């Protein structure tokens, strides 16, 4: 069955993944097909996207085919193709191609938006093609073949509750934990031949897109039959999911057997938001022991805006060096050191940030308190001495007119070090500004 829709929409991009409590399960081509079916209840919060990543030497790329609010109930339907190309020594290239219509197939992985799309071809694998252009940027065209190097992983066989809305749910399919990617990418008048390693996943469900927050990481070594995909649903219902394959073995870990810690953070001046630059992963299930570190080398922030006063999302697409070892109970071990992808999302409405002067950020705790409401927040601090705080979706649900702060509010900032020494600051909220800075 094939469906087409036409309407005006607002542009948006999101690059994030779901972590849920399910274990690995078999998946078919139909699982990777288009899934939207009208139910007349919560169609306005339906979201679905397919992402295709790839890396070849010093270049990395991601192409996302996004659909949100298919029936346009919110008058802000999203139908978009997003292209992200990262090349060593050059500025990141982020382009989006917006459309009024799309076509999707319920029976097989076939989806198209104008001159972009993907389809499964039995002899070749997945053909992924498209184009994107913005007025002030170069056009990007791509025509790629993704051939699976690892079997699919249905990370959430059962729909998983992910946010604060009653009955919301999401599913996550990693159809290609590892792939071989060949083809061409053309940037302006320059064409690049691709022969590298890829990844493809698919997310769909019904949830407020700017509600849950996620982190993820992915790496693979096709010649060794090794692939690893990690996802974390952050926040109140924190949950971690890890899919790992080595040779002919599928290795599963329960959420409680996985530990993910962020070892370093940095401040992004473009969005006035803090993001992780280092991850440490450890997992044990009795038969296998995994240790991995992620050191971020490239970081691209992608802003996802929503009507005020809803918080938006900053989705950080990251490329990093992923090093680790898999230890088997038998004493055998496997080591890897590869370039992979990671990602991290954060809310953004009206960021408050600043520099911590003459102090070791590792030993500082900062509390922000609203004089009007008495609400307090513990502030995030980067490894290089910046702090940051902002509203989240819970704040919006608690007060839909003034989440966390209102115009004219005063915030008290209290910084305390390990020796109990304190410093104070005050900032008056001015919502006509995009962000506000107050050093401590």
The answer to whether residue 39 scores a pLDDT higher than 80 is yes
Question: Which band of pLDDT confidence, cut at 50, 70 and 90, is reported for residue 40?
Answer: very high
Question: Which band of pLDDT confidence, cut at 50, 70 and 90, is reported for residue 318?
Answer: very high
Question: Which band of pLDDT confidence, cut at 50, 70 and 90, is reported for residue 413?
Answer: very high
Task: Identify whether residues 338 and 225 lie together within a single domain.
Answer: yes
| Length of the chain measured in residues | 440
User: What integer is the mean pLDDT of 53-80?
Assistant: 92
The answer to whether residue 82 scores a pLDDT higher than 80 is yes
User: What integer is the mean pLDDT of 428-434?
Assistant: 97
DSSP secondary structure letters along 300-342: EEEEE--STTS-EEEEEEEEEEEEEEEEETTS-EEEEEEEEEE
CATH code, 72: 2.40.370.10
CATH code, 377: 2.60.40
Task: Identify whether residues 358 and 416 lie together within a single domain.
Answer: yes
Question: Which band of pLDDT confidence, cut at 50, 70 and 90, is reported for residue 196?
Answer: very high
pLDDT tens per residue across span 147-176: 999 999 999 989 989 999 999 999 999 999
Cβ contact 287:329 at 8 Å? yes
pTM exceeds cut of 0.85: yes
The answer to whether residue 9 scores a pLDDT higher than 80 is no
pLDDT given for residue 22 in this prediction: 36
Cβ contact 69:42 at 8 Å? no
pLDDT given for residue 6 in this prediction: 34
* Arithmetic mean of pLDDT over the chain: 90
Task: Identify whether residues 178 and 315 lie together within a single domain.
Answer: yes
pLDDT given for residue 237 in this prediction: 66
- Over pLDDT 90: what percentage of the chain? 79
Task: Identify whether residues 360 and 294 lie together within a single domain.
Answer: no
Question: Which band of pLDDT confidence, cut at 50, 70 and 90, is reported for residue 26?
Answer: confident
Question: Which band of pLDDT confidence, cut at 50, 70 and 90, is reported for residue 14?
Answer: very low
Residue 364 lies in domain: 352-437
Task: Identify whether residues 306 and 239 lie together within a single domain.
Answer: yes
Task: Identify whether residues 219 and 266 lie together within a single domain.
Answer: yes
Backbone angles phi, psi at 363, to 5 degrees: -110, 15
The answer to whether residue 8 scores a pLDDT higher than 70 is no
Task: Identify whether residues 82 and 107 lie together within a single domain.
Answer: yes
pLDDT given for residue 25 in this prediction: 53
The answer to whether residue 109 scores a pLDDT higher than 50 is yes
Last residue of a domain, one of 348, 365, 383: 348
The answer to whether residue 89 scores a pLDDT higher than 90 is no
The answer to whether residue 18 scores a pLDDT higher than 80 is no
Task: Identify whether residues 300 and 363 lie together within a single domain.
Answer: no
pLDDT tens per residue across span 324-372: 999 998 889 999 999 999 999 999 999 999 999 887 888 899 999 999 9
Last residue of a domain, one of 348, 382, 414: 348
The answer to whether residue 74 scores a pLDDT higher than 90 is no
User: What integer is the mean pLDDT of 256-260?
Assistant: 96
- Over pLDDT 70: what percentage of the chain? 94
Distances (CA, A) of 409 to 353, 375, 380, 388, 414: 16, 12, 21, 17, 16
Task: Identify whether residues 335 and 359 lie together within a single domain.
Answer: no
Task: Identify whether residues 186 and 291 lie together within a single domain.
Answer: yes
Question: Which band of pLDDT confidence, cut at 50, 70 and 90, is reported for residue 396?
Answer: very high
Task: Identify whether residues 396 and 284 lie together within a single domain.
Answer: no
The answer to whether residue 122 scores a pLDDT higher than 70 is yes
pLDDT given for residue 209 in this prediction: 92
Q: Total structural domains in the chain?
A: 2
Task: Identify whether residues 269 and 360 lie together within a single domain.
Answer: no
Question: Which band of pLDDT confidence, cut at 50, 70 and 90, is reported for residue 235?
Answer: confident
pLDDT given for residue 236 in this prediction: 72
Contacts 24+ apart (CB under 8 A), 356-362: 356/381, 356/385, 356/386, 356/387, 356/415, 356/439, 356/440, 357/385, 357/439, 357/440, 359/385, 359/415, 359/417, 360/417, 361/385, 361/386
Last residue of a domain, one of 348, 383, 413: 348
């Amino acid at each position: 069955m094939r469906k087409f829709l036409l309407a005006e929409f607002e542009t948006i991009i999101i690059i994030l993944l779901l972590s849920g409590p399910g274990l690995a399960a078999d998946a078919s081509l139909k699982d990777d097909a288009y899934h939207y079916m009208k139910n007349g209840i919560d169609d306005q919060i339906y979201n679905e996207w397919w992402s295709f990543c790839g890396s070849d030497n010093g270049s990395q790329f991601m192409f996302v085919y996004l659909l949100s609010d298919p029936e346009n109930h919110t008058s802000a339907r999203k139908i978009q193709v997003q292209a992200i190309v990262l090349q060593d020594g050059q500025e990141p290239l982020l382009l989006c191609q917006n459309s009024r219509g799309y076509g999707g197939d319920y029976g097989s992985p076939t989806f198209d938006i104008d001159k972009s799309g993907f389809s499964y071809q039995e002899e070749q694998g997945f053909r992924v093609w498209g184009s994107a252009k913005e007025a002030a940027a170069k056009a990007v065209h791509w025509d790629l073949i993704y051939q699976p190097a690892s079997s699919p992983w249905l990370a959430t066989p059962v729909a998983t509750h992910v946010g604060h809305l009653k009955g919301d749910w999401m599913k996550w399919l990693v159809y290609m934990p590892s792939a071989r990617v060949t083809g061409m990418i053309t940037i302006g008048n320059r064409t690049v031949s691709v022969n590298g390693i890829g990844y493809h996943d698919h997310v769909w469900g019904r949830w407020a897109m700017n509600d849950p927050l996620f982190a993820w990481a992915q790496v693979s070594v096709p010649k060794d039959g090794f692939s690893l995909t990690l996802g974390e649903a952050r926040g109140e219902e924190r949950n971690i999911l890890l899919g790992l394959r080595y040779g002919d073995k599928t290795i599963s870990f329960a959420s409680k057997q996985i530990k993910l810690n962020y070892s370093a953070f940095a401040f992004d001046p473009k969005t006035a938001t803090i993001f992780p630059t280092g991850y440490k992963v450890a997992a044990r299930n009795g038969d296998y022991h995994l240790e991995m570190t992620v050191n971020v080398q490239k970081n691209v922030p992608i802003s996802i805006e929503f009507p005020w006063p809803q918080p938006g999302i900053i989705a950080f697409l990251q490329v990093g060096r992923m090093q680790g070892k898999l230890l088997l109970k038998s004493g055998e071990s496997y080591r890897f050191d590869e370039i992979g992808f990671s990602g991290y999302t954060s809310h953004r409405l009206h960021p408050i940030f600043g520099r911590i002067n003459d102090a070791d950020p590792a030993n500082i705790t900062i509390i922000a308190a609203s004089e009007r409401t008495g609400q307090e927040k513990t502030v995030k601090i980067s490894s290089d001495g910046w702090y940051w705080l902002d509203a989240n979706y819970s704040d919006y649900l608690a007060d839909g007119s003034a989440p966390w702060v209102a115009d004219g509010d005063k915030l008290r900032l209290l910084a305390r070090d390990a020796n109990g020494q304190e410093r104070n600051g005050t900032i008056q909220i001015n919502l006509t500004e995009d962000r506000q800075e107050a050093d401590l």
